[in-house]
Amino acid sequence: MFSTVVRALMAGDVICAVSSPDLFAYLSDATNAEDVGAYLQRIDLKLAQSQRGSAYYAACLAESTETRKVAKENFKDVKQVDRPLVFFMDLLMRAMHNDDYLMPGSVIEASKLMASIDANPSFRNELQTLAILVSPTNDGTDRARLAKVLKYFVGRGYLYLSNPERELYQVTGKIELFREVVDFLLEHDSIAQVIDDGAPVNEQALL
Amino acid sequence: MSAADDISGYLGLLSSNRDLIAEAYCNSSIQRTDENKAAIRRLQQARVLKPRNHDEFRLNTSLKRHLDAFSQRQRRYEIGANYSDQIDLLKTLVDGFTTASLDGRIADIDAYETDFDEAIDELAEQITNDLLGLRAVAENRFANVRTMAEKRRQNDFYLARTEKVQTIIETLAGDAISGLLDESPLLASLHTSYQQQLMGLVNGWRSTCLEVTAILKAFLFSFRDIDAAAGRIRTFAYYMRSNPEWTPPDEDGLRVLPEWALRIPGSPIRSLPDLSCSRTREALEDVALAIPASTPISTSNGRTAGSLQTEGDSDQEIHLQITPARLAFERFYHAAMAADAPLSALNWKRQHDEFSAIEDASWLVYLLDAAQSKIVRGAGRLQVHREEAPAAYSLTGNISIKDVRLWKKD
């Protein structure tokens, strides 16, 4: 199990109880986590955990020579993935009238989500915009668009297809990293404050 | 018939009807049919089954609980044992033991002692099992529950349950029973039993309780945190829709990088076999031998025995494509064989315009190779002479050739 866990971490995987329950259970044992951490430390890495504890991943040591390069990659990823993910989570929570989808392990039923989106023209428009953000190809039906969006987030490790026949997806522990990114960006650009102040956000520069 | 015989007979009855019992447990009930009605009657008489509807029967609760514990099946909002009743029972048994001791009723003293011993054992087992169950549901975060709303309800329920078990543990560790047992030297044997069977486990229980409570409270906190997180996502979505040109900051401007930004992108590790290791080679041999042999592709090879050759086959003409270099060599070979003096390959080629497409260098290389091989019958009878140019970089070991001359061996 040690070897499998280390290989997964080195491959950049985020280990959580949804997508890899065995590996997560192994790392949940403090002795095993220490063992893996000691191994990673020898190659200038460390075993990191999301702030809420649902995900493990390998990270650079802060003083490593690779740190800035790795950070650049992650910020690039933020630019590419986080915009569609923010829109998707917002759409999902509003369409299903439920905020619990930000919790790892939450189940998304594609058919129910499709039905909710189908019943609201505004949601349909948002889905179309989201599908174009994810991949600018014409997909024909809303069903195909939703399938493409869900597949995109499965590919990026935020969703896990737990039942292909019933099209049941589960939110993985990686969502906690996404929440950390959003918290960071909101704080860094003082976005929450800008909106709370009630000023039109696109006129800030003029003010 | 002794009590042991009764128990043995009862277990025999369970054993002989094990399939029916298993079906009743797994499907929650069993239907009476012509085939099983005699067996169901016997099980009902032994109070293993109880009627639900006219032809439907269920397992009795105690057996169902026993099977739940065996199969580690979790039921929603499992309430566990009623501890306060059991603590009251212990107090009653202590009281009865004291009275029997004062009255000198030896048989009753023994009976009370045995009952007290078993009651403690049962209580300790129930607390241990309850904590194991609580720990399981906490650690798997109510994995058998689908919706978050239900998880939230169960989290609240089990948190309250854990706190209740913790209170019971503190009651047992406190003076409620110990104080009673300390009151009289007559109760020394009960006190020893209590200390050995229950007090020795208290520290372990406390630690498990704290762990379970910590997990459940963390889970509870994450539920409460969700509303705020959802608000932040909505704010961010709204901001990005209002500012489509907005881009995240670059990492260059940050002195302290957030933890998530340090996650390595990673690359999959691929293993290659170490062929210097004999065990690896043997393993590879085994793999190779396990690959089924491929079926050779059948090709028609001439006329099959006993069949006539068709006319089309005999008339078929095959045109071989000869490369220009090969054609040039053959002609140059014949020219060289006919010549009286050594014949320069480059001069000969320049005299034949049809071979002008062949580069000089390629022509010389081909010629040397062809003259040394048996590409043309009789090539072995040729004498080959290379005209070498002075080596520009002698240390490289390269040989520069200006021309090749061929003539017939004497």
Q: Residue B218, CB half-sphere, CA atoms under 13 Å: how many?
A: 13
Q: Say yes or no: A29 contacts chain B, CB-CB below 8 A.
A: no
For residue A176, pLDDT over 70 is answered with yes
A 50-109 → B contacts, CB under 8 A: 50-53, 57-60, 62, 66-68, 70-75, 77-79, 82-83, 86-87, 89-90, 93, 98-100, 102-103, 105-107
- The pLDDT, as a whole number, for residue A206 is 38
Of B149, B240, B250, the CB nearest to A75: B250
The complex scores an ipTM of: 0.81
- For residues A188, A192, A195 and A196, what is the CA-based torsion angle, rounded to 10 degrees? -130
* DSSP string of B9-58, one letter each residue: HHHHHHHHTHHHHHHHHHTS-EE--TTTHHHHHHHHHTTSEEESSSSEEE
pLDDT tens column, A116-161: 888 888 888 888 888 888 877 766 788 888 888 898 889 888 999 8
Per-residue pLDDT averaged across B103-110, rounded? 82
Q: Quote the CA–CA distance of B401 and B390 in Å, as a whole number.
A: 9
Q: Which of A91-100, A176-185, B394-403 has the lowest mean pLDDT?
A: B394-403
Of A10, A183, A201, the CB nearest to B239: A201
Q: List b or e across A53-62, with b for residues whose CB sees 16 or more CB atoms inside 10 angstroms.
A: ebbbbbbbee
Please indicate whether, in this complex, the C-beta atoms of B264 and A45 are within 8 angstroms of each other.
Answer: yes
* DSSP string of B303-368, one letter each residue: PPTTSPPPHHHHH----PPPPHHHHHHHHHHHHHHH-SS-EEHHHHHHH-GGGTTS-HHHHHHHHH
A6, closest residue in chain B (CA to CA): B269
Q: Which DSSP letter does residue B268 get?
A: -
Q: Which of B21-25, B272-276, B311-315, B386-390 has the lowest mean pLDDT?
A: B311-315
- The pLDDT, as a whole number, for residue B315 is 57
For residue B195, pLDDT over 70 is answered with yes
Neighbours of B354 (CB within 10 A): 11
Q: Token pair for residue A136?
A: 């600018």
- Answer yes or no: pTM beyond 0.80: no
**Burial of A131: CB neighbours in 10 Å, binned 0-12, 13-18, 19+:** buried
Per-residue pLDDT averaged across B391-403, rounded? 72
Of B141, B232, B246, the CB nearest to A105: B141
Of B139, B147, B265, the CB nearest to A12: B265
Closest Cα in chain B, distance from residue A102 (Å): 7
Per-residue pLDDT averaged across B317-338, rounded? 81
B 173-232 → A contacts, CB under 8 A: 218, 222-223, 225-227, 229-230, 232
Q: Quote the CA–CA distance of B19 and B36 in Å, as a whole number.
A: 11
pLDDT tens column, B28-75: 788 888 888 888 888 888 888 888 777 888 888 788 878 877 776 655
A168, closest residue in chain B (CA to CA): B146
For residue A194, pLDDT over 60 is answered with no
With a pLDDT cut of 90, the percent of chain A lying above it is: 1
Residues 6+ apart with CB under 8 A from B153: none
